[in-house]
Amino acid sequence: MLVMVSNNTKHTVFEWAESYGHVGHLFSPDGWRKPRGIPYALDNGRYPCWSSGKEWSLENWAKMLQAAKDSEQQPLWALVPDVVADRKQTLLWWDDYAKVVTNPKRFGFKTAFAVQDGMTERDVPESADVVFVGGTTEWKWANLHRWTDNFPRVHVGRVNGWRGLWTCYHAGVESCDGTGWFRGGDSKQLQGLHRFLQAMAEMLPVYKQHELYPGPVPSKETT
């Protein structure tokens, strides 16, 4: 399982990627950084705007996709704009913007579809490459196996604890992301992530030996 550290490029992230593998980035429009050799994907930034009551910018999302396209390292996938906890509006946004993401004349990226409260397997578009488990927190965890039991590629958003990592792993999740790992310095939360990566390295090949790992880890830190 690939653990994507959201919008954080501390050198510790790259050290762990080199030592243990199974580490990547998830970048959102307000946290974009030039990729530096470990796998990454593109969030759309809808959830933090929804949770904080801020207005979401379609323009900023498109700018991030263009920056990724112009970079040497391409993303694993891009999350098509959704509407948190709103099934109907999420499906409408998919109809409007999934083809923008996949169009080789625009970006040519694989797509992730964010499942929301009230959705079932029938709601996932056949053209979606990845099922991104979003929605409200309680619904997300209660319905995790609905997606992992029926789709080969599943990503889970907002995973920021030891228990959540292992829940995702045992469910067969391909990747997950979290923003809170580095809050509070050397916290129990960060130590939990470190222990999880050590365990993954013992059980599975590291990603630097995997097709998702595209190149060497840089030596200089950027923030």
Across all residues in the chain, what is the average pLDDT?
89
Percentage, residues of the chain above pLDDT 90 = 72
Sequence letter at residue 37? G
Candidate from 16-25, 59-68, 76-85, 97-106 with smallest mean pLDDT: 16-25
Give me the mean pLDDT over the 186-205 stretch.
84
Q: What is the pLDDT of residues 101-128, one digit of tens each?
A: 999 999 999 999 999 999 999 999 999 9
Q: How confident is the model at residue 215 (pLDDT cuts 50, 70, 90)?
A: very low
Question: Is the confidence at residue 93, as pLDDT, over 60?
Answer: yes
Q: What is the pLDDT of residues 167-191, one digit of tens each?
A: 999 999 999 999 888 776 667 888 9
Question: Is the confidence at residue 204, as pLDDT, over 80?
Answer: no
Read out DSSP for 106-148?
A: TT---EEEEE-TT--GGGS-TT-SEEEE-S-HHHHHHTHHHHH
* Residue scoring higher pLDDT (22 or 184): 22
Question: Is the confidence at residue 43, as pLDDT, over 60?
Answer: yes
Phi, psi values for residue 128, rounded to 5°: -70, 135
Q: Where are the domains of the chain?
A: 2-209
User: What's the confidence (pLDDT) of residue 182?
Assistant: 79
Distance set, CA 145 to CA 16, 153, 190 (Å): 29, 12, 26
Give, in words, the CATH class of 2-209: alpha beta
The SS3 call for residue 5 is strand
Q: How confident is the model at residue 7 (pLDDT cuts 50, 70, 90)?
A: confident
pTM of the model as a whole: 0.89
